[in-house]
């Protein structure tokens, strides 16, 4: 005999039974925590829970879970790894105690939760450190390139004062060139005069006789 198909309304009731059973099983895996809050903190917790239509205890649980991850993130890497391991070991032990208290062989428990969080945090830190190092190298390279460009531009650009000094030096060299030739010409003239003055009497008489002979002829 075939079981008649459930209508949508009947299926809805079955779903409610399933959800109720899941909540009871989940409750068996939880341990209670009684805390006292400041009136201002409790007021904010109530307002946020009311705004999103959540139970206050459920909201407090979610807040505490996320806050614990933030706390783990701020621990030193070496200590963080040890604390995560100890938390996982204690979590497994507490899960066994909860099962015994409720007369169960075991309860649903996720092992190595905090070790997994620690590994994710470590990977994120390594990635962030690598990105910062690459950014630092890129900034250093860009600065070196900018400094080199400034040096090249400075070497190619002459200031008005440097241009004026260069023009003055060129004009001075042009004026000094003829002045340097004048002493040389004067020296040559003095040598010619000295040669004439130093001629011997014999040479003078020979030149006179040569002149007379040419006249007689």
Q: Please say if the pLDDT value at position 203 is more than 60.
A: no
Q: Per-residue pLDDT tens for 135-185?
A: 999 999 999 988 888 888 877 765 556 656 766 776 776 665 454 454 555
| Mean pLDDT, the chain, integer | 79
By residue count, the chain amounts to 217
Q: What is the mean pLDDT of residues 47-75?
A: 94
Q: Please say if the pLDDT value at position 40 is more than 90.
A: yes
Q: Per-residue pLDDT tens for 107-136?
A: 778 899 999 999 999 999 999 999 999 999
For residues 189 and 196, the answer to whether their CB atoms sit within 8 Å is no
- What whole-number distance in Å separates Cα of residue 150 and Cα of residue 159? 15
Provide the pLDDT for residue 192: 55
Domain spans, the chain: 37-74, 76-154
pTM above 0.85, yes or no: no
Q: Residues of the chain with pLDDT > 70: what percent? A: 72
Instruction: Work out the widest C-alpha separation in the chain, in whole angstroms.
Output: 177
């Amino acid at each position: 005999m075939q079981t008649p198909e459930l209508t949508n309304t009947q299926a809805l009731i079955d779903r409610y039974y399933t959800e109720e059973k899941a909540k009871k099983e989940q409750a068996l895996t939880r341990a209670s925590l009684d805390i006292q809050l400041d009136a201002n903190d409790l007021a904010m917790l109530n307002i946020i829970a009311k705004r999103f239509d959540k139970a206050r205890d459920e909201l407090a649980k979610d807040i505490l879970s996320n806050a614990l991850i933030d706390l783990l993130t701020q621990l030193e890497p070496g200590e963080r790894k040890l604390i995560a391991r100890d938390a996982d070991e204690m979590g497994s032990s507490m899960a066994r105690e909860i099962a015994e208290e409720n007369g169960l062989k075991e309860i649903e428990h996720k092992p190595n939760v905090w070790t997994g969080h620690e590994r994710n945090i470590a990977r994120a830190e390594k990635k962030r450190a690598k990105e910062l190092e690459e950014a630092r190298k890129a900034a250093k390279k860009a600065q070196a390139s900018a400094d080199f460009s400034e040096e090249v531009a400075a070497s190619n650009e002459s200031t008005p004062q440097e241009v004026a000094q260069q023009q003055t030096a060129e004009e001075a060299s042009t004026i000094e060139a003829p002045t340097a030739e004048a002493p040389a010409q004067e020296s040559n003239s003095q040598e010619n005069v000295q040669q004439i003055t130093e001629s011997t009497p014999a040479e003078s008489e020979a030149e006179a006789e040569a002149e007379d002979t040419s006249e007689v002829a």
